[in-house]
Chain A
Amino acid sequence: MQVWQKMLLVAALTTIIVVAGTLTYFNYFSKRRLFISTTTSLYDTGLLDLIEADYEATHNVDLNILAVGTGIALQHAKNGDADIVLVHSPSVELSFLEDEYGVNRKIIAYNFFTIVGPADDPAQISGKTAAEALFNIVQYGENMPDQSGESQIWVSRGDNSGTNSKEKSLWTAAGYDYEELSDEVWFASTGQGMGATLTVADQKNAYTLSDIGTFLKFYSDGNIALDSLILEERSLLNVYSVMAVSPTVPANQSVHENINFGDAMNFIEYLISDETQDSITNYGKDTYGQSLFTGAVQPLIDGTPQPLVSWIQDYAFFEDSECPLQYRNGFEDLYT
């Protein structure tokens, strides 16, 4: 045997030891792991940190949170790399359920998106509806003195996140085609998270669509000089849901058989419990002077406050239910 052969053998053995050590550790010595793929807004605002600390203190489970945006979160789940998803894009959620990747959806919270922009509001959108605001922004963009592409008036996430798909539907509702607009010189697309996109909009003195939570965090930290110009109207409703990843995906059986379904359902029950719902609603009140999120479970049961509950039902219910029968897997008590 030659020297390099011996050395390669040692290297291979060491690699196997590292891999085997990791596997042994995670299988026998560490707590069970629950992979949560989530929209960035829940994580970036710090809400999930709070929930994680509380949950891990009372459960023998290690929460592994991947803050990636709705589109990628659902892709993770399809690949079998997440046990549970926290997302905010009802239309995308429906196809996720229809493709049999997700089960037992629960609406957990809501708030509103907001269109933010420079304080001097060059496109004069303040006080308008979202559709009028977008019209004004397009008009302003097309008539901007600088058409060289150096400056932009609208910044889009462009990352298939929940916020991005909301933005697309707002453009459609205002009578525009998102794909066509994204080629305009006044239109910038970051492909990044909400925080990065807000910073870009701030630096460019441009408008963007943001969830209220991330905006308030950046605004109150003094890191952006943008103002929230359009608030709390029906078309800007933002509904957060949780879904367990199905352990039996016919299309992709071998990939999903190790899904941690038991802990995922336990975590969903924890999220919709009264205590957690209260802490979601109260989160950030001290720091920001208003709640960033409102727990949705009790309002949906009570049917108040109106018209909010009917807005949520119109926007985020499928077949008059947050999770139609065919997309459930046990746990009927979630829906009574």
Chain B
Amino acid sequence: MADILVEIVEALQLIVTGDPEVLGIVSRSLLFSGIAVVLAILWGTPLAMLIAMKQFRGKTLIKTFLNTLIGLPTVVLGLILFLVFSKGGPLGFLGLLYTPAAIMIGQAVLITPILVSIGVSSIESVDPEIMNLAKTLGASESQAQLAVLKEAASGIILSDLASFNRAIGELGVVLLVGGNIAGGGNRTDVLTTAISRNVQISEFGLAIALGILLVMILFTINIIVAVLRKANYLVELAKAPFLRIKRYRENKQ
């Protein structure tokens, strides 16, 4: 093993001087995972509403299944998506394998169970009376559902932020469907895959630099989540008029 101190110094130099290679990898990671989270929110929120607000048979089974999917090893999901996106696979005709889109969709699929699962419990923990209250106040079914969603918003937003960490920190999916392509104009190497590659080719300085930056990103997100939770900022933010009306009524009684 080479002198670790020398490698760490090199890593810090890469970070401090804003090495374009490092910056490129970090910005790709942030961009891909950011879009993945947006996609997952767009899919996950309506699914969570559907599961939480509708009564149907097999609901517990679906929720259990979702909780199982949360723990799905990323490399297994990577394998499944690889087979789906490969030219011989069902979506092979799209030619998405080894493109940024494959990474974004892969990460979005990875975190969707987290978002849906936490979304369902956030919505279910909302006081059921809110829905009735909204309806008695003349809201349509849709408006009433939106009112409930607003009440659940704080929990949902926190889970969105947390799932970003899962997306940016995972290796299996991005490696298998992204291909870790480091050259050319359409690179698919991100923080985790680049760390793996650079350890393989004994470029420890670069690997350490990327590792430090990845941990810093994860830490920053967690700080934001913690601060928001502590300040209860989102709860206040999401305080819907219905809740105030309800409190007002209760006070009157």
Footprint of B on A, CB under 8 Å? 2-8, 10-11, 14-15, 18-19, 21-23, 26, 30-31, 33, 35, 40, 44, 46, 49, 52-53, 56, 62-67, 79-81, 192-193, 195-196, 199, 202, 217-218, 221-224, 252, 255-256, 258
Contacts and interface: CB of A to CB of B under 8 A. Distances in A.
B183 A65 contact: yes
Contacts of A40: 200
A221 B2 contact: yes
How large, as a class, is the contact surface on chain B? 35 or more
A66 B145 contact: no
A7 B179 contact: no
B100 A22 contact: yes
Contacts of B46: 3-8, 11
Given A7-B46, A66-B98, A79 B39 contact: no
B200 A258 contact: no
Given A7-B42, A18-B39, A79-B88, A56 B184 contact: yes
A4 B92 contact: no
B49 A7 contact: yes
Contacts of A5: 46
A11 B35 CA distance: 12
Given A3-B145, A196-B199, 14 more contacts: A2-B141, A11-B46, A14-B38, A19-B96, A62-B184, A79-B87, A81-B86, A192-B200, A218-B202, A221-B202, A222-B2, A224-B1, A256-B87, A258-B95
A80 B86 contact: yes
A23 B95 contact: yes
Nearest to B201: A44
Contact of B200 (A3, A35, A193, A221): A193
Contacts of B194: none
Nearest to B182: A65
Most buried by B among A21, A23, A81, A252: A81
Interface of A is mostly: helix
10 contacts: A2-B142, A6-B46, A18-B104, A64-B98, A66-B98, A196-B199, A217-B202, A223-B2, A255-B87, A258-B87
B145 A4 contact: yes
B48 to A, nearest CB: 9
Nearest to B52: A4
Given A4-B49, A11-B46, A19 B200 contact: no
Nearest to B44: A11
B212 interface: no
Contacts of A15: 39, 42-43, 105
A2 B141 CA distance: 8
B185 interface: yes
Given A30-B185, A65-B183, A217-B202, A8 B92 contact: no
Nearest to A40: B200
B99 interface: yes
Contacts of A10: 42
A63 B50 contact: no
Interface in B138-192: 141-142, 145-146, 149, 179-186
B202 A22 contact: no
A202 B2 CA distance: 12
Contact of B47 (A8, A31, A52, A222): A8
B22 interface: no
A53 B141 CA distance: 60
Contacts of A22: 96, 99-101
Contacts of A80: 86-88, 92
A31 B1 CA distance: 41
B39 A14 contact: yes
In the complex, the 9 A-B pairs of residues with the closest C-beta atoms, listed nearest first: A80-B87, A22-B101, A7-B46, A11-B42, A4-B46, A195-B200, A222-B2, A62-B184, A4-B49
B16 interface: no
A33 B100 CA distance: 14
